[in-house]
Amino acid sequence: MVLDADAAYLALKARDARFDGRLFVGVSSTGIYCRPVCRVRTPRRENCRFFDTRAQAEAARFRPCLKCRPEIAPGLSHTDSSRSLADAAARLIEQAVQRGEPARLPALAARLGVTDRHLRRIFLAAQAVPPHAYLNTQRLLLAKQLLTDTDQPVTQVALASGFASLRRFNAAFAEHYRLNPTQLRRARGTARAGTAGPAALRLAYRPPLDSAALLGFFARRQLRGVEQVEGLSLRRTLAWPHGGGRIAGWFDARFVPERCEVHLAYAPALAPVLGALLACVRQGLDLDADPALIAPALATLPGPPRPGLRLAGCFDGFELATRVILGQQVTVKAACTLTQRLVDRFGARVDTPFAALSQIFPDAATLAGADPAEIGGLGIVRQRVRALQALAAAVTQGRLTLHPGAPLQATLDALRALPGVGEWTAQLIALRALAWPDAWPAGDIGLMQALGTRDAKLLAARAEAWRPWRGYAVMHLWQQLENPA
């Protein structure tokens, strides 16, 4: 653990949200484990055991609290989870569960460049639980959240959580939590059958979080029909691959600062991919960031400090990459104009309860198969058309994946190999689509303006002080230009 037990108990007594997701407390008198922000009466010190992860608490036979709900606690950021091989494997397991993908240990080990036997050994040493137990915990916690916050049938929850059968799901749930899924739903009183309004999910984050800056960033780049920022809410449409096709829908992510949470409403059609949607929104709003780790590294940035500034991610990697390509050598406003024309011409219609949302961003297959002259007729120069269609073809053919679980270096190499994609474009895609917090687009005009130099080498040298959080430095400098304090 980062903290010793006495310091951890002080954090628990203070209900310090900075330790949320980094510290869990098991209470021996109740057999329950909680987040440090739990509002129940603080347990006696001698009854507390402290854990780094939820998997460790569950391996010690504690079950999750029904009040503070450990399953909604913030996770670890991309840089946190790449500090060691074991942590990188843990992150890949979490992403696989959320995306509904298989999490087979030999495949994970091969991706990390080690044998599965070596991965098992170092994973157990670092996480204090074997990989299969960690995987099972992630699946059960996702299932617990879906049972608590949605009215999905138990069978659908089991499949969405990665269990091969309802029987295995019920057995695992009863073994770990000592009640069956239906009892949990009844105990929480959250079954939504017959109720009005959309289902909602809760996602926690560590404070501070500058929601005004984050939502302002999205608002200055929003596309008509696709996204809308209103008050503390970000709403948008999206389509998700599922069962050989695509599911179209919408979500509404609303910040609730007094609870350090985001409440997520979503289209019922997206119910089969809720795990993936949760991961997508967490990355897009950077809810897993730890400001206490990031802020000290950025102390030498020019301008006033901006506590809680987050890295604005994306909700569709192909869409983000398309926007970056169309933004080459033009202003943000001009890039939005070109992208809007692309949406108006090639986007699909979708029904939503919001007047401002009516279109889905065109998918890769549509743009890969479009007539280049038709794309060029929108005012997009030939070089950009070529780059855009090469990107779309690579995504359609599966040669390129653009999400935080994609291997960083291989993805950067694949991007650089595309016509019309240089280092600036690749770094921006890594920053916002791959959630890589140390990305540094050295040739960015905005960074040059903010730092008062056009010397890319000087910029890169100056940015060394901000590693491994140079991506957050980019957001700080952009905010300094777009929204001076």
pLDDT value at residue 266? 95
Give the whole-angstrom CA distance, residue 49 versus residue 26.
5
Q: Are 124 and 90 in contact (CB under 8 A)?
A: no
Residue spans in the chain of domains classed CATH 1.10.340.30: 272-482
Q: How far apart are CA 89 and CA 298, in angstroms?
A: 28
Residue 314's closest CA among 368, 236, 256, 380? 236
Question: Which residues belong to CATH 3.40.10.10 in the chain?
Answer: 5-71
pTM: 0.89
Residue 316 sits at the vertex; the CA angle it makes with 310 and 320, to the nearest 5 degrees, is 70
Torsion of CA 296, 301, 305, 311, to 10 degrees: -80
Residue bearing tokens 């202003």:
331
Could you say which of 149, 286, 288, 444 is catalytic?
444
Omega of the bond prior to 208 within 30 degrees of 0, cis?
Answer: yes
Which member of 34, 48, 68, 336 is catalytic? 34
Of 11, 62, 8, nearest to 34 by C-alpha is: 62
At 294 the three-state DSSP class reads helix
Long-range pairs of 348-351 with CB within 8 A, sequence gap ≥ 24: 348/239, 348/248, 350/237, 350/239, 350/248, 350/249, 350/250
| Residue 282 CB contacts under 8 Å (≥ 6 apart), including other chains | 74, 75, 203, 288
CATH superfamily of 5-71: DNA Methylphosphotriester Repair Domain (3.40.10.10)
d(CA 442, CA 216): 24
For residue 193, what pLDDT is reported?
43
Q: Which CATH fold would you assign to the domain 272-482?
A: Endonuclease III; domain 1 (1.10.340)
d(CA 215, CA 483): 12
SS3 letters for 371-408? CHHHHHCCCCCHHHHHHHHHHHHHHHCCCCCCCCCCCH
C-beta atoms surrounding 220 within 10 Å: 14
* Ranges in the chain, pLDDT < 70: 1-2, 78-84, 188-199, 485
444 catalytic? Reply is yes
Cα torsion 107, 110, 115, 119: sign: negative
- The backbone torsions φ and ψ at residue 354, rounded to the nearest 5 degrees and listed phi first, read -110, 130
Q: Tell me how far apart the alpha carbons of residues 96 and 162 are, in angstroms, rounded to a whole number.
A: 9
- Computed over its alpha carbons, how large is the radius of gyration of the chain? 23
Q: What is the largest CA-CA distance in the chain?
A: 73
pLDDT of residue 85: 75
DSSP 456-479: HHHHHHHHGGGTT-HHHHHHHHHH
Sign of the Cα pseudo-torsion (201, 16, 30, 129, in order): positive
